[in-house]
Structure formats: structure tokens, C-alpha cells
Amino acid sequence: MGRLISPTKQDFVSHVREVERFCLPEKAMQTCRAKAAVWLLGGIVLFCALPASGQIVSVVDENGKRVFINAELPSQRAGTARAATSTARLVPASMRTRAERADALRHLSKDELEKMAHEAAERHKLDPALVKAVIEAESNWNPGAVSSKGAQGLMQLVPGTAESLGVEDAFDPEQNLDGGVRHLRTLLEKYDGDLEKALAAYNAGSGAVDRAGGVPNYRETRNYVQKITDSYFRPGNGRSGSIWSRARSIYRTVDERGRVVFTNE
């Protein structure tokens, strides 16, 4: 019996070429090969052009921490090449820098500021008309106002008072209003609803009011109190029935089932 000889790779390729030469005309073979090359090249280009899913984007949050987000860049969706703008749009509002947010808030209209003041007043149980009268006297609705003594923002908070109230940026209208309204309410509670004493303390400090036993004999403070009270009690300014609402006491009771219940009624 004769010995079998295994064909080599070169023999196999040569055989295939022989089959092609006899089965297909030379021109048809060239056309097929050209088409195959075009399809192969097109597939490679298409694959490279596809956007990668789940790209890792690096951004810096409002606390200065670098955060890596698994998201698609807006520049890929919109076809823009402005990387800086795309990154800014990618970051949600809660992660934008304080400077960006503060800049947007400083450009609010007076109507928008008045709405924010109204909401802060209602939140802390003060008459919105009183809060608006104080703002008008303090800054005339200018969120970027700074006094000669360093008081800042809509309700003119000095840095020490702002810090004690937890206000990080006194030029941020939301923070300033919330802190200023809380401060005014605290003074009203301290002086048992005496509006003139509370306003005098807001302007000159509680120490001056306590030492004087009332509105201190400072021209600025007396004019300040007069200006706000005249504005607040002026007919047609939208004043409500009361300057403020006292906080109700919380009572602890036990119902008939033995459950502990806390109520302010």
C-alpha cells in the first residue's frame, strides 16, 4: 500500500486558485475581490465611528471633588466640538459650582426675588409684607449690595451674623433671604413681638437695644425703624392681619391604646 502524503497549506492555496481560474473569468474575479475589499474597509470605518457607550467623563463638583461619571458627552449627541460647554451641560444642577449658581441667581428679576421673599416669609411664619419692607430699606432689592460696614445681600447680613445663621454665600438670594428672615423672627421672639425693638436690633444689634431698653438713640437706627414701619403700615401694601405667627407648644400625650402622641393642638 502506498504512503499517503498530507497536502501542505501552500498546496491548498494553489488548489483554490486553480479552481477560481477555471470556474470564474478573470474579470469577474477582480470585481469580486474589489467589492470584498470595499465592504471590509467600510465595516472598519463604521465600527471606528460608532460612539463608545458608557464613556467615563471627569468633572469637578461644587465641593471641589473630582467625580467620574459614566455618561455620553453632549458633544456626541449634538455634534458640537465645544468640550467645555458640553461638560458644563453634562453636570446636573446639584453639582455645578457655587459661582455658576450664584451668578444665575444674581440675575433674577424683582418679581422673582419678591416671590422668593414671600416663600421665605411664609416658611418662617412672618408677614411677607414686613419682610419686603425690610428688604426695601436694607438693599432696595439688590442681591449684590454691600454696605460701608460690610453687610451683604438682599437683607444685608454682616459676615458674623451670616456665619451664625449657616449662610455660606450672602450674595445668594435664597440663602440670604432664608437667613435674614430667620434672624428677624428670632428677634421678634426675643422681644415678644415688639416690632420696633426687633427692627432696632436688626439694625444696631441686640446689645444696643438691651442697653437702651428700647430703640437706641442712634439717628441711623431711629430713621431705619421709622422708614420700615411707615412702609409696613402704609395702606394698600398687602399687610396681613398679624406681623408673625407664634410657634405652638408641642404636647406629649398617651392615647387610649397606650400610644405616645405628640401634638401642637
Catalytic positions, please? 138
CA–CA gap between residue 225 and residue 89 (Å, rounded)? 46
E runs forming strands in 73-176 = none
Tell which residue, 143, 140, 147, has the closest CA to residue 167. 143
Cβ-Cβ contacts under 8 Å for 52 (sequence gap 6 or more):
none
Chain mean position to CA 95: 7
**Look-up of cell digits 398687602:** 238
**Rounded CA separation 192/75 (Å):** 59
Which residue reads 463608545 in cell numbers? 52
Distance CA 17, CA 40 (A): 21
Cα separation of 61 and 92, whole Å?
9
Q: Which residues pair with 262 in a beta bridge?
A: 252
SS3 for 220? helix
